[in-house]
Amino acid sequence: MLTSLNNRKSIRKYQKKEVDNQLLTQLLDTAFRASTTGNMQLYSVVVTKDEKKKAQLAPLHFNQPTYVNAPVSLTFCADYNRFNKWCESREAEPGYDNFLSFLNAAIDTMLVAQTFCVAAESKGLGICYLGTALYNAKAIAQILALPKFVVPITTITVGYPDENPAQTDRLPADALIHFETYKDYTNADIDRIYAHKESLAENKKFIAENNKKTLAQVFTDIRYKKADNEAFSKALLDFIKEQGFLK
Amino acid sequence: MLTSLNNRKSIRKYQKKEVDNQLLTQLLDTAFRASTTGNMQLYSVVVTKDEKKKAQLAPLHFNQPTYVNAPVSLTFCADYNRFNKWCESREAEPGYDNFLSFLNAAIDTMLVAQTFCVAAESKGLGICYLGTALYNAKAIAQILALPKFVVPITTITVGYPDENPAQTDRLPADALIHFETYKDYTNADIDRIYAHKESLAENKKFIAENNKKTLAQVFTDIRYKKADNEAFSKALLDFIKEQGFLK
């Protein structure tokens, strides 16, 4: 099991082979065994296979090849709608129209998403997470017909791998683990921690292609820009409020 | 692997046996292979073993027996501090002082936390998630010396199981999966979905013990109350802002 977790990689190119609904349901059933806040199971999963739906959603995922190419995508949603409806039909008054409840549901959702991914990878499937679900949450919610108290948190693509990419780099583990208290990073620590990443040929190529001076600039000026983050933040907060969570 | 995921349960009673740091580091190293937004690895993990630290943290986790009883706890934190410091030392201006960046980091964090749990359980360890990390985020951050741009998202207890509890119930999987669009729940759906949960002896006992009429009321009136949720939401939003994420 550790071997499978250690060797995993995200897959962005899939075979033209269907992933059948019975297998998806079995893997999700396994994922639903993940821990959940007070056993409330504050999530729902929407399966997208239909070509028309996919065509509507693709631009919201910036037409990333992994999305366009995948036979199926799953959108994992924070969901208090079902629980609220249960409360209301059982003479109980739900008090979950607030930020903590949203985050609890988002956490429940991510535990299920990641357990699904581990289960799927153990069965030879490949997956890739798309951060775009949060960027375009409102438009995605409209296409998936999500009611109030349901917010898409992440979308993953799923399929049988048609590539075997090299594993991407990771920072040294000891730099991410703190014993007892957080040891803040000195400049020398930062140099050491990022040295391997900065030494990689593909990252040097990245800098050159983007006409930047440092790899960090590729992130701040191209990939995850302040202005974009701020615009998406505003839209996301507005939408979470609209869905009932920030009254 | 599916068998292990299917049979898992949260563990709240542990043997008095240490979990050594080498094993923890190995399992965390595996967890760091989880997907991460743009390979930024926006998380840190703080390991708590020291009895004095534990005594300070225990009340913030409401002195739950699983916390008091566990030989080790791990606090998984959303962390933009390290990445920001890297940017700043590389002539790049970070633009991550916003809500989207906080949520991206929280998602990264949960992928690692859950992968750690799967890895730990596969090695015979037990775990239990504590939602209290979000309730008392600020006080926990002070004890763990978390700097700006670091927010605790979840704490888990870890140890060798000293109990073998029955698995808790789950809602029927088909009720949580939607094909193509979200099928909203009718009253009849709600009755069907919650029937098994409501039929369980332990849940009936729960209602009686708490002097309530329905199981849902145990959640709304006792376990996850509106007034508590609202107070914790306000404190959490204030703290996320203080940490730099909602400027």
Residue A81 belongs to some domain of the structure:
yes
Q: Report the interhelical angle of A99-122 vs B99-122 (nearest 10°).
A: 50
pTM greater than the 0.90 cutoff = yes
**Residue-wise pLDDT tens digits, A16-71:** 999 999 999 999 999 999 999 999 999 999 999 999 999 999 999 999 999 999 99
Starting from the edge strand earliest in sequence, which strands make up the sheet with A177-179, in order?
A177-179, B43-48, B72-79, B150-159, B126-130
Looking at the structure, do residues A117 and A157 belong to the same domain, yes or no? yes
Q: Which residue of B has its CA nearest to A111?
A: B114
Looking at the structure, do residues A214 and A140 belong to the same domain, yes or no? no
Looking at the structure, do residues A118 and A229 belong to the same domain, yes or no? yes
Helix (H, G, I), strand (E, B) or coil at B176: coil
Contacts of A190 in chain B (CB under 8 A): 82, 85-86, 89
Averaged pLDDT for residues A71-96: 98
Buried b or exposed e, range B108-118, using 16+ CB within 10 angstroms: bbbbbbbbbbb
Q: Of B5, B103, B171, which is closest to A119 when you measure between CB atoms?
A: B5
Within 8 A by CB and 6+ apart from B245, the residues are B80, B96, B97, B98, B99, B101, B102, B149, B151
Per-residue pLDDT, B63:
97
CA–CA min distance B22, chain A (Å): 11
Contacts of B115 in chain A (CB under 8 A): 5, 114, 118
**Residue-wise pLDDT tens digits, A197-206:** 999 999 999 9
Q: Which residue of B has its CA nearest to A195?
A: B86
Residue A247 belongs to some domain of the structure:
no
Query: B5 and A33 in contact by Cβ < 8 A?
Result: yes
Within 8 A by CB and 6+ apart from B107, the residues are A106, A110, A131, A153, A154, B37
Residue B227 belongs to some domain of the structure:
no
Q: Which domain holds residue A149?
A: 2-165+225-242
Looking at the structure, do residues A153 and A177 belong to the same domain, yes or no? no
Per-residue pLDDT, B236:
98
In CATH, what number is assigned to the domain containing residue A38?
A: 3.40.109.10
Residue A27 belongs to some domain of the structure:
yes
CA–CA min distance A129, chain B (Å): 7
Looking at the structure, do residues A189 and A93 belong to the same domain, yes or no? no
DSSP output for A2-57: HHHHHH------B-S----HHHHHHHHHHHTTS--GGG---EEEEEE--HHHHHHH
Looking at the structure, do residues A186 and A76 belong to the same domain, yes or no? no
Looking at the structure, do residues A161 and A217 belong to the same domain, yes or no? no
Looking at the structure, do residues A100 and A212 belong to the same domain, yes or no? no
Q: Of A32, A49, A114, which is closest to B114 when you measure between CB atoms?
A: A114
Q: Which two three-digit tokens encode residue A103?
A: 């985050």
**Residue-wise pLDDT tens digits, A129-146:** 999 999 999 999 999 999
DSSP output for A141-208: HHHHT--TTEEEEEEEEEE-BS--PPPPP---GGGTEEESS--PPPHHHHHHHHHHHHH-HHHHHHHH
Helix (H, G, I), strand (E, B) or coil at B97: coil
Q: Of A32, A93, A104, which is closest to B176 when you measure between CB atoms?
A: A32
Looking at the structure, do residues A184 and A136 belong to the same domain, yes or no? no
Looking at the structure, do residues A232 and A201 belong to the same domain, yes or no? no
Angstrom distance (rounded) from CA B205 to CA B201: 6
- The answer to whether ipTM exceeds 0.95 is yes
Q: What's the domain count of chain B?
A: 1
Place of tokens 């704490």: B155
Within 8 A by CB and 6+ apart from A234, the residues are none
Helix (H, G, I), strand (E, B) or coil at B1: coil
Angstrom distance (rounded) from CA B225 to CA B150: 28
Query: A106 and B104 in contact by Cβ < 8 A?
Result: no
Q: Classify A63 in phi/psi space as left (phi over 0), alpha (psi -120 to 50) or beta.
A: left
Name B129's bridge partners: B156
Residues of chain B with pLDDT under 70: none
Residue B111 belongs to some domain of the structure:
yes
Interface probe with A: pick from B12, B229, B241, most Cβ of A within 10 Å: B229
Averaged pLDDT for residues A122-126: 96
Q: Of A47, A135, A193, which is closest to B178 when you measure between CB atoms?
A: A47
CA–CA min distance B2, chain A (Å): 6
- Percentage of chain B beyond pLDDT 70 is 100
Looking at the structure, do residues A209 and A88 belong to the same domain, yes or no? no
Contacts of B168 in chain A (CB under 8 A): 39
Q: Which residue of B has its CA nearest to A229?
A: B100
Query: A194 and B86 in contact by Cβ < 8 A?
Result: yes
Contacts of A185 in chain B (CB under 8 A): 81-82, 85
Query: B119 and A21 in contact by Cβ < 8 A?
Result: no
- Percentage of chain A beyond pLDDT 70 is 100
Q: Which two three-digit tokens encode residue B104?
A: 């991206």
Check whether A1 has a pLDDT greater than 80. Answer: no
Looking at the structure, do residues A95 and A147 belong to the same domain, yes or no? yes
Angstrom distance (rounded) from CA A156 to CA A73: 6
Query: A2 and B123 in contact by Cβ < 8 A?
Result: yes
CA–CA min distance A164, chain B (Å): 16
Query: B171 and A226 in contact by Cβ < 8 A?
Result: no
CA–CA min distance B3, chain A (Å): 9
Per-residue pLDDT, B174:
96
CA–CA min distance B70, chain A (Å): 15
Query: A123 and B2 in contact by Cβ < 8 A?
Result: yes
Averaged pLDDT for residues A113-120: 98
Q: What angle do CA A113, A114, A117 make, to 5 degrees?
A: 90
Q: Of A1, A44, A129, which is closest to B182 when you measure between CB atoms?
A: A44
Within 8 A by CB and 6+ apart from B220, the residues are A87, A92, A93, A94, A95, B226
Place of tokens 């049988």: A160
Query: B89 and A187 in contact by Cβ < 8 A?
Result: yes
Per-residue pLDDT, A247:
82
Place of tokens 């000293």: B162
Size of interface A-B (CB pairs under 8 A): 338
Q: Which two three-digit tokens encode residue B97?
A: 């002082």
